Amino acid sequence: MKMNVSETTSMATAYKLASHVTSYIEDRLLARNHLFESFFSREAPRLAEACREMSERFLRGGRLLAFGRGPYATDAQHVSVEFVHPVIVGKRALPALDLSVLFRPWLEAILRPEDIVMGFGPPEGDPEVWATLQEARLKDAMTFALPGVEGSYAVDAVTEDPFMHQEMIEILYHTLWETVHVFFEHRELGHEVGASGFLYPFLGTAKQGTTNLVAEVASSILMKAHDDTRLRERLAREEAEQIGSTAVAIHERLRRGGKIIVFGNGGSATDANDFAIDCVLPPPGYQSIPAVSLSLEPANITAVANDIGADAIFLRQLIAQARPEDIAIGISTSGGSRNIIMALEEARKRNMLTVALLGYDGGEIKRKRLADFPVVVNCDYIPRIQEVQASIYHVIRESLQLLNQDVLNREVLRRGQA
């Protein structure tokens, strides 16, 4: 079928627009690497020591109590699920709670001296979070100020960019979770590290001194940051164009009155929640974008799971919420989560735009072509996948802001007319 001049011009403009967004995304992905590497080069020894104290507190019956506000409440959700439901088979559940909904009075009611208290906030910090952490510290709890200047472990923000800051903190608490299990089991069992042995091959089978263990764990933490760097470099090289095209397609649906509907399980549920909050409660200077997270609906999720089954928890909500102009975004590290697959299949039937953020090789979602725009982090280890997926949805959010402001649109049109 022959296209008219107007259609040809529109396609050419869209191509140029996607090209500019792609270049922007490449730059933004790579900008994270030096910042994160420098931070963990400096902080790895301190983090290893903090993990040792955490393991001692868990062995004494302590709990991890986490909280934050706005998008930083999703970090509390994420760290809680990581400790309670570990991604490595065979790792025991460690007690953790997200207290964000009412953190100060809740903490006052349940805090014990052996507990670990973790407060999240924006780069500039959150005075209410700091005050609550100080009260917990006065009661002998171990405290993490992320960010902050006072606490058992406190760290200043190394960037004013809220998205980069949050991604760096996610890497930090993932390494805490991984390392606590090593200290916990090493201390309790002498030398056996179980299913996490592949993460720390230096432990072997011989009992080692704690001093050497701290040094080796610090080195391993830095290796994890290196792994993320390599994944982002590969993503910038191989997937930036796909991410750029995804952002342009989402922008077009939003212009038509659509909204983002995002969903995921476990840690990916917290990423879905974070993405939705970043859209409706963005950093200063950003425009709000209509978005909902189906993972942020505990009553609906538990009702559907109880009455129908866990496979339908997102499908049922999508049927109620979706319109043809909307965008369905599924986040799955495996690419094979049945409830994500069913929701994307329904979205296809309803002519929605479908996007999937995936790990491994993209799994069944990619093989069955359930997403118009699949973006794959080629990695088989869930924490690293999630850390890089956070970079992906954050750069998509940044790109949507540029497109909303029509900065790129005007630049492309100007160059096309020159």
Cβ-proximal residues to 252 (8 Å cutoff; 6+ apart), any chain: none
Is 85:93 a contact under the CB 8 Å cutoff? yes
Q: What's 108's DSSP letter?
A: H
**Residues 118, 50: Cα–Cα separation, whole Å:** 12
Residue 350 vs residues 179, 318, 346, 405: alpha-carbon distances, Å: 45, 10, 6, 29
What's residue 321's pLDDT?
Answer: 96
**Residues 341, 345: Cα–Cα separation, whole Å:** 6
Domain spans, the chain: 40-229, 239-414
Tell the CATH superfamily of the 40-229 domain: Glucose-6-phosphate isomerase like protein; domain 1 (3.40.50.10490)
Tokens of 274: 């974070």
Question: Residue 186: what residue type?
Answer: H
Q: How confident is the prediction along the chain (418 residues), in pLDDT tens digits per residue?
A: 443 434 444 555 566 777 789 999 999 999 999 999 999 999 999 999 999 999 999 999 999 999 999 999 999 999 999 999 987 767 789 999 999 999 999 999 999 999 999 999 999 999 999 999 999 999 999 999 999 999 999 999 999 999 999 999 999 999 999 888 887 767 654 434 444 444 444 444 444 455 678 888 899 999 999 999 999 999 999 999 999 999 999 999 999 999 999 999 999 999 999 999 999 999 999 999 999 999 999 999 999 999 999 999 999 999 999 999 999 999 999 999 999 999 999 999 999 999 999 999 999 999 999 999 999 999 999 999 999 999 999 999 999 999 987 655 555 455 455 4
Say whether 239-414 and 40-229 share the same fold: yes
List pLDDT tens digits, range 202-259: 444 444 455 678 888 899 999 999 999 999 999 999 999 999 999 999 999 999 999 9
Pairing relation of β-strands 96-98 and 373-376? unpaired
Greatest C-alpha distance within the chain: 75
Cβ-proximal residues to 150 (8 Å cutoff; 6+ apart), any chain: 130, 133, 134, 137
Nearest to 228 by CA among 391, 81, 53, 22: 391
Q: DSSP of 196-256, one letter per residue?
A: GGGG-GGG-SS---HHHHHHHHHHHHHHHHHHHHHHHHHHHHHTHHHHHHHHHHHHHHHHT
Angle, helices 240-255 vs 210-238, to 10°: value is 70
Q: Rounded to two decimals, what is the model's pTM? A: 0.89
The architecture CATH gives domain 239-414: 3-Layer(aba) Sandwich (3.40)
C-alpha dihedral sign at 332, 334, 335, 339: negative
Question: Residue 255: what residue type?
Answer: R
Q: What are the residue ranges of helices labelled H in 60-123?
A: 73-84, 103-110
What's residue 86's pLDDT?
Answer: 85
Cα Rg of the chain, angstroms? 22
Nearest to 251 by CA among 407, 411, 400: 400
Question: Residue 297: what residue type?
Answer: E
Half-sphere exposure for 157 (CA within 13 Å, toward CB):
17
Is 266:258 a contact under the CB 8 Å cutoff? no
Is 86:109 a contact under the CB 8 Å cutoff? no
- Helix, strand, coil share (%) of the chain residues, nearest 5: 65, 10, 25
Q: Which residues pair with 355 in a beta bridge?
A: 329, 373
**Residues 42, 274: Cα–Cα separation, whole Å:** 28
What's residue 102's pLDDT?
Answer: 97
**Residues 66, 107: Cα–Cα separation, whole Å:** 9
Residues 364/367/372/376 CA torsion (nearest 10 deg): 70
